[in-house]
Structure 1
Amino acid sequence: MMVKSNKKRGLFLGVCASLIILAGCGNNDEVAEDASSASSTVESAEMASSTTESAEVVTTASISNDPEDIITGLSAEGAWIHAITDDVTLTEDILVSGTFYDGGEESGDVYRKLALYAQDEDRNVTDEFTLTAPMMTVESPNFRIQNGTFVGDVVVSAEGFELADSTIEGNVTFDSQELMDSAKLEEGTITGETTVAE
């Protein structure tokens, strides 16, 4: 019984450490405060044995390589950030939907992120991953793909789409010129065509 408890606690601490690292992946200067706050939350959770408090910490981000978890994590029922920790191939399309906020707090900016990388404690990127799917449709505003590579076509139906040191190996189609104009693509690479739907 003690071994199982220690394993569960070790897994929980590992997830919490990952959350702290991912907290540093925000898109503004308030990240240091968010990371500090996340650290305090984790320390409090370590001292608590309640599963409710543990669940509150874990729901701030979604980290999984399981195809079903990725589909759910990027859906309207998912989290403001989804991260993978290895290359993953999906056989079905991805729908990125719902409105989310930086850090998972409604007081933050409207923001959503797909993290395709790992980083060290100094926020240096240590590894990048590839997510493959037939197609990704983006309906979440201010959706950012950070580092790594998405292999497949992307349809953008929301404003503020962004590539940050990331690559799309496929075509990107925007539903309108206004959506294309609101996108930030200069820090990324698109190997296929970038067009506006007719």
Structure 2
Amino acid sequence: MKIKPILLALAIVSTLFAGCGQRNNQNTAPKTGTETKTETKTENGKNEITDGTTTASIVDNEAAFEKAISKTGTWIIATLNDITTNKELSLDGEFKNGKKDKEGKDVIQRKIALYTQDENRNVTARFTLTAPKLTINSPEASIQHGTFKGDLYVSSKNFKLVDATVDGNVYFTNEEAKSTFQIDNKSKITGKQELKK
């Protein structure tokens, strides 16, 4: 039977191509990449749904970071080094991460990833984002595994610090933002936390 040798040869070639396509880089940005539909509001006020892929904006400079955190950016912003700016920054827009919840609804999420990781998702490097002010307007947002140096203004619900440091103050601009704020036991805030309308 000639079919078995042909199938065996195809399997070997497929394995070789898959192996050659893998990267051996130990430090990579947080992984993502799933199909999703994005709903945006057009200039005339109508909602428009577009198909796309939710991927990380992997950034290493101030201009790329500012674009990634805008309302036309991506759901995850991953830095590759420290970033410093003299501008006041704002994390804007509502984004879906490509996953579904138990009811089958799209999961809303936004993440500033101040770290790199290895293939086993172990954090390999942590970075610092420095700005005079960062306002969190995106719902379900987080800062993870790095340091924000400056004052943080939280205007949206369910903001999280995950293994992250805020070297500055955290101001909540409304009661909902304050009451839904979450901080894990690896995170810290060096300044005060208060409601500031």
Whether TM-score is above 0.5 comes out as yes
Question: Is residue 101 of structure 1 aligned with residue 100 of structure 2?
Answer: no
Q: How does 1:33-182 map to 2 (within 5 A)?
A: 60-103=55-98, 108-182=106-180
- 1:109 partner SS: strand
Distance 2:167 2:137 in 1: 20
- Over alpha carbons, which structure has the higher Rg? 2
Deviation of 1:194 after TM superposition, in Å, equals 0.4
- TM-score (structure 2 length as normaliser): 0.70
Pairwise CA distance, 1:22: 2.1
CA distance in 2 between counterparts of 1:72 and 1:174 reads 24
Q: CA deviation at 1:14?
A: 9.5
State the shift of 1:163 in Å. Answer: 0.2
Root-mean-square deviation (CA), in Å? 2.7
Deviation at 1:87, TM superposition (A): 1.0
2:31 corresponds to which residue? 22
SS in structure 2 at match of 1:95? strand
Structure 2, unaligned runs of 5 or more: 1-22, 36-51
Q: What secondary structure does 1:91 align onto? A: coil
TM-score with structure 1 setting the length: 0.70
- The one-letter amino acid of 1:193's match is K
Aligned residues: 154
Runs (4+) of structure 1 exceeding 4 A deviation are 104-107
Q: Secondary structure at the match of 2:164?
A: strand
- Write the distance in 2 (CA, Å) between the matches of 1:151 and 1:179: 20
Sort the Cα spacing of 1:147 and 1:103 in 2 relative to 1 into closer, same or farther, 3 A. Answer: farther
* Deviation per residue, 1:106-158 (Å, 9 max, x gap): 95311100000111000111110111011001110011101110000011111
Identity of aligned residues (%): 37
